Structure 1
Amino acid sequence: MIPDDDPSRSLTVASPDDPGTTFISLAGNTYAMLITGEQTSGAYCLIEMRVPDGGGPPPHRHDFEEMFTVLEGEIEFTFRGEKHAAGAGSTVNIPANAPHNFRNVSGAPARMLCMCTPAGQDEYFTRVGDVVAGWDAPPPHLSQDQLAERRQRAIDLAPTYRSELL
């Protein structure tokens, strides 16, 4: 039996051009929080990622599913130690708990969508990164001490967001 409609939930139309979009600078990447867990009652979040050439996160794992659709460029995913190339139009699903990371190997900036289910990664990125004005905003100039603090914050908050940095 399908439950009744929940009229307290509203339609979400997301665009990185919306004035309410939050942009996060994190490890040289810029992420737009398109649809947050707050908007989906925690079911999922959707993040547009812009990753500079050579950019990407360190190896990590988490207990939730993560799906990427490459919009521009080429991303090399390392999944359980094996490298896999994904070009524009490709979709990659990372199963929960599997060690992985990715690297932009395009020679130019890359763009992709990242969906995490359930949500939480959106909150983690917001708490670990720095809010910036938009895609074209430069990342903050951080001292070595500030960079070390951001890294430590990522490590300290990872368990709260069901993640582990490897």
Structure 2
Amino acid sequence: MKTRQNTITLKRTEGIHVVSAGNLYRIIASGSQTEQRFSAIEMVLEPGQGAPFHTHDREDESFFVLEGCLSFYLGNKEFRAYKEDFVSCPPGVVRGFRNNTDAVARALLLYSSAGVEEMIERSGKVVDRGTKASDVESRPGIQCPTLAEEYGIAKVSAPLPCDSNIATSSEGEGHA
């Protein structure tokens, strides 16, 4: 049995900060650090930001909300995830998400297996800690949608629905 020797330690001020597709990410653990087993990324979404409907072919995509509220669109249902709520999508499941509030939302993204963090870094712009996504112009040239197919991610042509056009499965009872 092979013993793994790559312990990862990271202070809150460390990591690679990247603005990609209008969203701010902090790559906490990359596939190169985890022998491609997983990656961990902090995502900061300003109001109105998110990701369109899409699927992943290769990895599970999981979200743990750290702050704020994110609306997840899973099929024809909306799940509003608040602080400490969790959403996990296996490969092949159509999903999209958006910050539909007027406050910043933060989530921890876990990918098993790794790889998506490479796409984020390749398509985005590395920025200094504390930079807001809205302060960064989109990088011309390579963009997430262009790279997505290479990483097993397919965009679904339907737009994310408006809140009033979707069935709600969680109203956030008991959340602050």
Alignment correspondent of 2:54? 60
What's the counterpart of residue 135 of structure 1? 130
Distance (Å, rounded) in 2 between the aligned partners of 1:113 and 1:76: 15
Q: Which consecutive unaligned segments of at least 5 residues does structure 2 have?
A: 157-176
Normalised by the length of structure 2, the TM-score is 0.81
Regions of 4+ moved over 6 Å: none
**Contact 1:25 1:131 survives alignment (8 Å):** yes
Which residue does 1:42 correspond to in 2?
36
> Deviations along 1:129-150, whole A, 9 cap, x unmatched?
111112335632348xx3xx45
- Give the SS at the match of 2:51: coil
Q: Is the 8 A contact 1:73 1:111 kept in 2?
A: yes
Match of 1:81 in 2: 76
Per the alignment, residue 26 of structure 2 pairs with 32
Contact 2:24 2:132 in 1 (8 A): no
For 1:64-143, list aligned pairs within 5 A. Answer: 64-136=59-131, 139-142=135-138
Amino acid at match of 1:141: E
CA contact (8 A) 1:36 1:45 kept: yes
Matched residue of 1:38: which SS?
Answer: coil
Q: Which residue of 1 aligns with 2:160?
A: none
3-state DSSP class of the match of 1:50? strand
2:153 partner amino acid: S
Give how far 1:40 is off: 0.4
Specify the alignment match of 2:9 in structure 1. 13
2:53 matches 1:51: no
1:165 aligns with 2:165: no
Give the deviation of 1:106 after TM superposition.
2.9
Return 5+ residue gaps in structure 1 as ranges.
Answer: none
How far has the Cα of 1:156 moved from its partner? 2.7
Residue 23, structure 1, aligned to residue 13, structure 2: no
Cα deviation, residue 10, structure 1:
2.0
Aligned partner of residue 58 in structure 1, secondary structure: strand
